[in-house]
Amino acid sequence: MAFDAAPVRDRPLAEPALAQLFTEARTRNAWSDRPVPEDLLRRLYDLTKFGPTAVNNTPARFVFVTSPEARARLIPLMSEGNRAKTLQAPVNVIIGHDLAFPDTLPRLFPHAPGAKDWFPDEASRRESAFRNASLQGGYFMLAARALGLDVGPMSGFDPEGVKAEFFAGTDIEPNFIVNLGYGTDENLFPRSPRLGFEEAARIL
């Protein structure tokens, strides 16, 4: 019997999977009332955490806002144009970056015992935390789409207010917010153009 021994990593995803992740996926502005169960949110994080970050520093921190009480704290901090869709989405996810990420490096990067000391000043911690948490936010959205969810990322909110309301007393700062759930086509804008390869890339 024929047997395909190619490693999984050498097998490109089928076109329907690529469409679900990229070519047919859309940023959603309206949401159905279909709930997103907690076990799916946990599975979503468990996929996201495997995305690579520098020295495995994984600085992203995720707050899944689902309860009416938590949503009441978040909605006033959103920009006016983002409030209605944030209220309609079944889950709002605050993605932050932890400036204290070096504290976890002895556990997350154990083969380099001195890694915690590679970020001695706030500027280096802030740069690495922001860059790598942003990467993790991208992994998060692709993982959500892979699990059949829709996403609506937003940067229109009061960062100081979100910091005070959800990350008070910590070294975590908000990066961006993602609405999460099962989107509808309501208020769906036509797909905007993208730059072509020759405009955005070079092969040297």
pLDDT tens-place string over residues 40-77? 999 999 999 999 999 999 999 999 999 999 999 999 99
CATH topology of domain 35-182: NADH Oxidase (3.40.109)
What does the mean pLDDT of the chain come to? 95
The Cα 134–Cα 30 span in angstroms is 24
Specify whether the CB–CB gap between 86 and 152 falls below 8 A. Answer: no
Q: Say whether pLDDT at 196 is over 80.
A: yes
The Cα 101–Cα 105 span in angstroms is 7
pLDDT tens-place string over residues 92-110: 999 999 999 999 999 999 9
Share of residues in the chain with pLDDT > 70 (%): 96
Q: How far is CA 26 from CA 126, 135, 148, 190, in A?
A: 31, 19, 12, 10
pLDDT at 168: 98
pLDDT tens-place string over residues 51-60: 999 999 999 9
> Could you tell me the pTM of the whole model?
0.93
pLDDT at 104: 96
Q: Say whether pLDDT at 144 is over 90.
A: yes
